[in-house]
Amino acid sequence: MASSRATRSNTSKARAAEARSAKPETMTSKTRAPRKRKGEAGKALARKLVKAKAARDTNPLLGKWRTPFAIAPFDQIEARHFEPAMQQAFRENRAEIRAIVANPAKPSFANTIVALEKSGVLLHRVAAVFWNIEGSCSTDELREISRRVSPLFAAHSSAILLDARLFKRVDELFERRDTLKLDDEQRRLLERTHLEFVRAGAKLKPKEKKRVAEINGRLASLVTQFMQNVLKDEQSWHLELDGERDLAGLPPGLRSSAAREAAARGLEGRHVITLSRSSVEPFLTFSTRRDLREKAFNAWVRRGANDGPTDNRAILAEIVALRGEYARLLGYRTYAEFSLDDTMAKTPEAVGKLLGDVWSHARRRAGEEREVLAEAAREEGSNAPIAAWDWRHYADKVRRKKFDLDDAELRPYLQLDNVISAAFDCAHRLFGLTFVPRDDIPRYHPDVRAWEVLDRKKQHVGLFLGDYFARPSKRSGAWMSSFRSQHKLGKGQRPIIVNVMNFAEGGEGEATLLSFDDARTLFHEFGHGLHGLLSDVTYPSLSGTSVSRDFVELPSQLYEHWLLQPEVLQKFAVHHQTGKPISARLIKRLKAARNFNQGFATVEFTASALADMKLYGAAPGAVADIETFEGDVLAEIGMPDAIVMRHRLPHFMHIVSGYAAGYYSYMWSEVMDADAFGAFEEAGDIFDRKTADRLKRHIYSAGNRRDPQDAYVAFRGRPPSVEGLMKNRGFTS
C-alpha cells in the first residue's frame, strides 16, 4: 500500500503543501497585520522573529539538519518537540499563503501556482517525521498528540482551500490556461491544482464552506480515533499457549517467534500468538487445535467491534455519514460518486462491473475449493462443516497433497536478507539502480536499515529505508511512505523513501524466514518505493506516488511478477542452512500452485471491495448500524459462509483513510499489471532494456505529469484488457 502517506494528506492544498520542499519565501511587510501603528507593528514583528529563532535553536525539528543527506536527526527528536514545531510551521505556511493572496500583481503561473508549490516546506518536514513515527513507533504520548493535531491539520487545510481570494487567482489562471503558453507539465499542475480547490469546496457559498470545514475537522478526529482503536485491539489481545498440546502442528519457526513474544511479555517458558498478521495467520494455517484456531480467528475478525472504548462501529457510521454529506454539498449523490470522479474508473458503475465479473468467477471457484477442503477434513475424521477458522488449515494440507508443496518447505529458502537483495537486484537490472548500505544514516528505530540509492552513473538518486519487523508500537499491515519527495524546484531535492512491514523476526543468531506471501509483500511495497525513488518531475504536487488511487498500485503489483521468475528465485532463494539454491523442481511446483486457493483469496478481497463501494454508495441514513449493514451486504452478494471479508468494516483502515470507496483499486491496477508484464514476456527477456526504459519513462518516473490512461498507453501501446486479470487469477485459460 502506498501510504496513506507520510503526511496523511487529505484532498487539500494545505495538506499537499506538506509535501512541498523548496525554500520558503522570506516574510515581507505584506504579511504583517497593518492595524497597529507602524512602530508597534515593527516591534511586534521583531519579537516574533527573535522568538522563532530561539525556537529553531532549541527544537531539532526547526533547526537546520546537519545530517547525511539532511535526513531528520531522529536521535535528537522527542515527543515534546512536535507540537511547538507544528505551530511554527502552521504560522509560516499561513504567512506564505497571505503573501500569495496579497500580491498586487496580476495572477501568473509563477506568482500563484509555483508559489503554492514552494509553500509549506517546514510543515511538510515536521509532519512527515511525525506521521511516519506515529505509525511505526507509536506511544501513548504520540497517540495523544495525534488526536490533538489531526483537527488542526484539517482546519489549516480548509482555511487554505476555502480561501475565496486565493481560489480567485487559481480560477482566473485556469480560465486563461490556453493563453498562458504552459508546457505539458505546467498545464497538468494548473489543472490538478484547480481541481483540488474545486473538490475541496472552493466554489461553495460561505455557509456551505463553513460546514465543509466543520466536516473536515470532525473527520480528522474520527479517522485518527478509528486507526488508534484498531492498534489498541491488536495490542491488547494475545493467546497464551501452554505446553505441547497447545503447540500441536506449529512448525519450529512459529514456535520460536511465539516463544520470543511470550518472553517479551514476561511469560518465560510459554508461547504467545498475537493479532499481528505474521503471527495469527501462520497459527490458523498450522495449528491442529481447532478450538484454539476458532478463538484466535474470532479475536482477529472482531478488532474494532468489541464493546468498550475501542469500538469503531459508531465511529465508522459517523465517518460514512459525514463523507456523504460532504459529497452532497459538492453536488454528488453519494461519496462513492464523488470519490471515483477523479480516478481512472470514473463511476461506481464501472467499478461494479469489474467487481461483479470477478465475483461470479471467484464465488464459483471458492465453492469448488470448499468441497475439496471438506473431503480433506473427512479423511482426518472430521465431519464438521468447514468454518472460516478451518479454511487456511485445510487449504495448506490440500496444497501439500496436490502440489507436494507447503509453506514450511519454502520458508528456509526465503531469507529476509536474500529477498531484499533480490528486490534490489531486479531494480539494478531493470533501472540501473545500486543500493549501498549506509550505517551512518540516522534512523528512528534500531530495526530500521538504510541504503543510499545510486543510478547507472553512480549519481545520488535518494535514500531508501527498510523497517521490516513487527512490534507492538507499529500499526498492522505494510506500506510505503516518504520523509521527503522528489522535485526540481529551486535547487530541487532527492527523495527519502521508507518501506514498513510486519514480519516476525528470527531469533538471536537465526535467519528471518518469510512465507512466499511475505516475500511478495516485500516486492509489492518495494515497487511503491521505486515509484517514489525514480520520480523525475519538476513540481512537488506531481511527484512520485501522487497519482490516481487506482493507478498507484500498478508499479507495486507489477513488481511482484519478478519474484516468481526462475532466474530470480534460483539466484536468491538459497536454503538458510545448506546454502543450496531452490531446485527447479520446487520452483515448478510453486508456479503450478500459484492459482491454488484463488477462489478464496479473490472472494475475501472482492467482498471487502464490494462492501466498501456499497458503504459509500448508500443513501443518507442507510448506514446506522455497521454490523447490520455489513451482514445485509454479504447476504445480498451471496457471501460463502466459510469465508470472511479480508477486512471487516470495523477495522477496515484502508477505507477510513486514503482508500475510501477505493479498495477496488488493487484489482483495477491488477488489470494493468497483468497486461504490463506481458510486454517483457513478449520481448523475450524479463529484464529487456528497451521495455524497462519505457516503463521507467512513462510509469515509474513520470509521477502525475499526464493522465494515467495516457501514461499506460504510452508504455504499452494500447489500453489494458481485463482478460489478463482473469488469466492471472486462473479463472480463464
User: 3-class secondary structure for 253-317?
Assistant: HHHHHHHHHHHHCCCCCCEEEECCHHHHHHHHHHCCCHHHHHHHHHHHHCCCCCCCCCCCHHHHH
Counts for the chain of helices (H) and strands (E), in that order: 29, 7
* Alpha-carbon gap, residue 682 to 724, rounded angstroms: 14
Q: Are 325 and 668 in contact (CB under 8 A)?
A: no
CA 715 to chain CA mean position, Å: 24
Write phi, then psi, for 478 (nearest 5 degrees): -145, 145
Q: The dihedral of CA 614, 615, 617, 618: what is its sign?
A: positive
| Gap between the Cα atoms of 482 and 480, Å rounded | 7
Q: For residue 22, count other CB atoms closer than 10 A to its CB.
A: 21
Distance CA 642, CA 624 (A): 26
Cα separation, 317 vs 226, in Å, equals: 11
Q: Is 181 left (phi over 0), alpha (psi -120 to 50) or beta?
A: left
Determine the Cα–Cα distance for residues 130 and 69; give it in Å rounded to an integer. Answer: 19
Q: Is 582 helix (H, G, I), strand (E, B) or coil?
A: coil
Per-residue CA distances from 709 to 281, 365, 668, 719 (Å)? 37, 31, 12, 7
- Asked about 681 being catalytic, the answer comes back as no
Residue carrying the nine cell digits 488493487 = 666
- With cell 520458508, the residue in question is 411
φ, ψ dihedrals at 17, nearest 5°: -65, -20
597 in Cβ contact with 399 (< 8 Å): yes
Which helix or strand (DSSP H or E) is residue 610 part of?
helix 598-616
What cell numbers appear for 158 in the block? 480548509
Distance of alpha carbon 257 from alpha carbon 423, whole angstroms = 25
Nearest to 6 by CA among 412, 404, 528, 644: 528
* Catalytic residue selected from 96, 369, 452, 525: 525
Q: Do residues 13 and 200 make contact, with C-beta atoms less than 8 angstroms apart? A: yes
**CA dist., res. 305 & res. 647, Å (int):** 12
The distance in angstroms from the start CA to the end CA of the chain is 29
CB 518 within 8 A of CB 410: no
Nine-digit cell string for 685: 527477456
- Please give the Cα distance from 262 to 278 (Å, whole number): 15
Cell numbers of 344, please? 481512472
d(CA 89, CA 97): 12
- State the Cα–Cα distance between residues 701 and 392, nearest whole angstrom: 39
Catalytic residues: 525
